A and B are shown apart, each in its own frame.
Chain A
């Protein structure tokens, strides 16, 4: 019986990291193993659509990938022989061509794979591409479409990422307890970047980029299932769900940006909010509060207000107070100033912003100007506000945001 691509694709995406992890147990060449799995995925989607799903899809995938890997190893050995460098050849062949043992489902292996793909030795762009392919099971072409760059560019990023992994000798095993939390924060950062890449898009190729948000949520779910007691993991997943729940309401019919306080809250995804709220409170109950937990808590307070005037701003300000103690990110300081303005009035917010105006990191950002414009507008300073909205518009690199700011300047 034939199988449809809609059936096959999610299955393959799910199986890809497992197949790769199984292969990695037998072969220490990550780059070759990953290539072999990618080829097996392509073969699977062709053959399974024609002939239907095999009885044991994961074992099928591993078998085909193993065959590709063995071919690769053989030609590699032949090449090395030609070059007369025979060192380490024996062990290479032995590990790579080990027999067909059980297809493992050790859940930790998926985590090890993520730790490897998000290793701090990689540039973030490389880590993102590699994670989406090796763990997310996306093809190079799909990743390229999502980031609006040529396929060959993503292909190069992936192969460079693999070279970096090889060069730095990162072993395929769980990092030591001491390094684990730092390595985990790299993983969470990469997932957060993938989410934002998809979420903050409001037009153009929005369809493909939306997939990136879904993909980030899917991967974050996997990590959360593996580390259910980690507050930051739960916090990140909650943050994604609570943010993504507003997606339908945040853009108008022509891709124009609709800010939080003007969104039609009936269009928010209640189911996602309920799940996010439960996760956020679970995250906070786990003790030792981190940035993602606090950001999730802030998103939760917004999402809980069915009308914008019901927003619990004192609570949001208290959460930003806590966040400010954890990070010196000027964007957090800026949001803290907005929350203060909502509680005490625009003058209090503007006073806080004064201290940020010399911050080098905000110099080229449009956001400082936009926030000042907003607060001045609320204080009745129309003209100054309009000038600052225009200044912000000239600094942003987002077309929908520029249009929004110019509209605000017009009043």
Chain B
């Protein structure tokens, strides 16, 4: 079964990340690399990507002529997708364990827009829909 483990970051997450001390940045990079490698070696990794800063993101829709109309960032969004892993595992329990481990990535406690802080980011776990059903 495939699951997407989604790492969201509060609005200021990226800006705060840019100011992390070097040691923390290194520790985070080492963790992420080792974590992804471990998933790969376990034969469970399908894909993993980190996304660029939402400052660079664009909103797009088709105009009357079908050509793209773009807009800046989404001013109302409180959270942004920072990155994700897709894993193929035996069941949900395993996906949750992997997500819990992902949440322990070294980082600075993040300040939310309401002033509260969090130590570990929540990882959202969603099952990937497929084109096949459960076993009959």
Contacts and interface: CB of A to CB of B under 8 A. Distances in A.
Interface of A: 123-126, 129, 147-150, 152-158, 160, 193, 196-197, 200-206, 209, 255, 257, 331, 365, 367, 396-402
Given A123-B90, A149-B88, A200-B135, A399 B43 contact: no
Interface in B59-107: 88-90
A203 B132 CA distance: 8
A27 to B, nearest CB: 25
Contacts of A202: 131-132
A398 B131 CA distance: 5
15 contacts: A123-B90, A125-B43, A149-B46, A150-B46, A153-B46, A154-B43, A156-B43, A157-B43, A160-B41, A160-B43, A200-B136, A202-B131, A397-B129, A400-B133, A402-B129
Contacts of A153: 40, 43-46, 88
Contacts of A155: 43
A411 B44 CA distance: 40
A209 B90 contact: no
Interface centre among B43, B129, B135 (most CB of A within 10 A): B43
Interface residues of B, number: 22
Contacts of B47: 150
Given A152-B40, A153-B44, A365-B134, 20 more contacts: A125-B88, A153-B40, A154-B43, A156-B42, A160-B42, A200-B134, A200-B135, A201-B130, A203-B131, A206-B131, A209-B132, A331-B136, A367-B134, A397-B127, A397-B134, A398-B132, A398-B134, A399-B129, A399-B131, A401-B133
Contacts of B133: 200, 257, 396, 398, 400-401
Interface of B: 1, 40-47, 88-90, 127-136
